[in-house]
Structures are given as structure tokens and as C-alpha cells.
Amino acid sequence: MPKIPARNRCRSGPLKEVSLMNVTIKSPEEQARMRIAGRLAADVLDMIGQYVEPGVSTEKLDQLCHDFIVNEQQVVPACLNYRGFPKSICTSVNHVVCHGIPNAKTLKNGDIINIDVTVIHEGFHGDTSRMYFVGKPPVIAERLSKASFDGMWRGIEAIKPGATLGDIGHAVQAFVEAQRFSVVREYCGHGIGRVFHEDPQVLHYGKPGTGVELVPGMAITVEPMVNAGRRHVKLLSDGWTVVTKDHSLSAQWEHTVLITETGFEVLTLGSADRDA
């Protein structure tokens, strides 16, 4: 999820003039490629679940995903070397909000971890993340993960031609805050296609009816970061890892979604949620 430049951040309304936006509309052929990219990214998350257990390092999870993407799927791990990011996936544990860098530290019983995978297939990106529990998590962590998951789906279900980005943000925010959790504001979802992070920025908070209008053929991610405590975050000195300022737990789920004539199509469903 891209960082929102401070000068573009504001309390309401579009982040940039709509005329300065560079939103791409995907042709049917491009949509077909995005569909495959999305499915491949989801397949990586399906594959890695069995390895998330006490004692495994996040570096090991990265290596397993990297080898699967490169050797079995024969596609490209988009995160590797993206703006200098050193690994193929992001692993964000407990109070890490996003962009955690896989390392030698091992997971322990009760940890929660977001694994975020992006692959490039025939030039198009598929981007998705899920929460995993290591052994038995605290009840609050389960509630937090569910709030992020359900909040993401509230946002996705607001998607249809004529709806706006503000409708998505509002749907997520209203749901999450009603449970007395908070929504991170400094990082957002994004347009996606040939470019990993394209316009528009997809905020996970906002006002109904504001911002860019959704049009069939657009592709975006919805990826709310939800904190158990306050919404504020800080960036660690490695230049990537984002943590909650108050060290409270954070959770995130992400799908890549195509806007269709009638509504939306989620491109990154796992095999258990796909038909046939």
C-alpha cells in the first residue's frame, strides 16, 4: 500500500484534482491477464498457510513464496527490489501495520501475521494479503482480524459503476470504527495494472459521494489496515517497516478488484472461495 504524500492528504474530498489523475481502464484482454495475475497471487497465499507455525522464520516464509512464484508459477515477485525492497513478500507481525521485511526472527504461539503477495503475469499485477494466526491467538487479535476482513468486504461491496471512492472509504471506516477499532490513514489501496501502484489512491475512510467515480474496467485494491488502539503509525529506521505508534496490534486483508458493468469482480479469491 502506497504512502500518501502529506501535501495530498486532507480530511475530505479527492486527494488530487481529478484532471491530474492517471486512471487506466483495462481492455477485455488486459482484464483477462489481470484475472490470471490475481489468481496466481491468491494461490501463493493458499500455498503458504501450512507453513505458518511456531518456530518458522519470516525469512523462511519469504523463501518458500519466492521459490513457488519463480520456479512453479514462473512469474515475477513484484515486491523484490521494488523501490529497494529486499524480499519477495511483506510479513507484518503483531504491531507491524504493513511492509514488514522478512527476517531471521521466528514466529511464536499467539502471534498474528499478515502476508502480502504481489506477482506480475504478462506485465500485469495481482496484489493480495491475508492474516494468519500462529497457534492460538488472543481473542482481541481474532476480533481485530475479523474487523479488517469484514471492513474490506464492506468496502468491496460498495463498488459499482457510478459509486465513488468515498463510498468505499466510508463503508470501511463506518464498519471498523463501530467496533471501536481504528483505520490507518497514511497508507491506502491503489489502482493496479501494468503499474504496481497506479492512480487512484483508495482511502479506507471518507465521505459518501466524494472523490473519483468508479467506471467499468478500472482495477483497484481494497486493503484496510486496522489497529486495536489508536490509528497513528510510525516508520522504522529501515525505511520500510510501519508500526503502530502505541504498539497496539494491527491487522490487514487485501483483494484486487475489477469494476464491472454490474458491480465488481474480486480477482484474488483463494481456491476455497472460487467456483469450480
Residue bearing cell 474530498: 13
Q: How many residues does the chain have?
A: 276
Site string for Co ion, 76-95 (x = CB under 5 A): --------------------
Query: Which range touches Co ion (CB under 5 A), out of 54-62, 115-123, 141-149, 242-250?
Result: 115-123
Site string for ligand MF3, 222-241 (x = CB under 6 A): -x----------------x-
58-67 and 28-48 helices cross at what angle (nearest 10)?
A: 140
Residues 6+ apart with CB under 8 A from 222: 152, 155, 156, 159, 168, 172, 189, 202, 204, 254, 255, 257
Q: What one-letter code names the amino acid at 216?
A: P
139-157 and 165-178 helices cross at what angle (nearest 10)?
A: 150
| Contact assessment for residue 192 and residue 256, using Cβ atoms and an 8 Å cutoff | yes
- Report which of 145, 138, 83 is spatially closest to residue 114, judged by C-alpha positions: 145
198 binds Co ion (CB under 5 A): no
Upper half-sphere CA count for residue 120 (Cβ side, 13 Å): 14
1 binds ligand MF3 (CB under 6 A): yes
Q: What one-letter code names the amino acid at 54?
A: P
How many residues in the shown chain lie near ligand MF3 by CB under 6 A? 14
d(CA 208, CA 70): 42
85 binds ligand MF3 (CB under 6 A): yes
d(CA 99, CA 79): 10
Q: For Co ion, give the closer residue by CB, 116 or 167.
A: 116
Beta bridge partners of 29: none
127 binds ligand MF3 (CB under 6 A): yes
d(CA 103, CA 87): 9
90 binds ligand MF3 (CB under 6 A): yes
Query: Which range touches Co ion (CB under 5 A), out of 103-111, 123-131, 180-188, 208-216?
Result: 123-131
Q: For ligand MF3, give the closer residue by CB, 83 or 247.
A: 83
In Å, the largest CA–CA distance within the chain is 51
199 binds Co ion (CB under 5 A): no
Q: For Co ion, give the closer residue by CB, 114 or 164.
A: 114
Q: For ligand MF3, give the closer residue by CB, 31 or 92.
A: 92
Q: Which of 43, 111, 127, 167 binds Co ion (CB under 5 A)?
A: 127
Which residues between 248 and 267 bind ligand MF3 (CB under 6 A)?
254
Residue 272 backbone phi and psi in degrees, to 5: -65, -25
- To the nearest whole angstrom, how small is the minimum distance from the Cβ of residue 70 to ligand MF3? 16
- To the nearest whole angstrom, how small is the minimum distance from the Cβ of residue 180 to ligand MF3? 25
d(CA 76, CA 23): 24
Query: Which range touches ligand MF3 (CB under 6 A), out of 21-29, 46-54, 62-70, 80-88?
Result: 80-88
Interface ranges with Co ion (CB under 5 A): 116, 127, 129, 221, 254
Interface ranges with ligand MF3 (CB under 6 A): 1, 79, 82-83, 85, 90, 99, 116, 118, 127, 221, 223, 240, 254
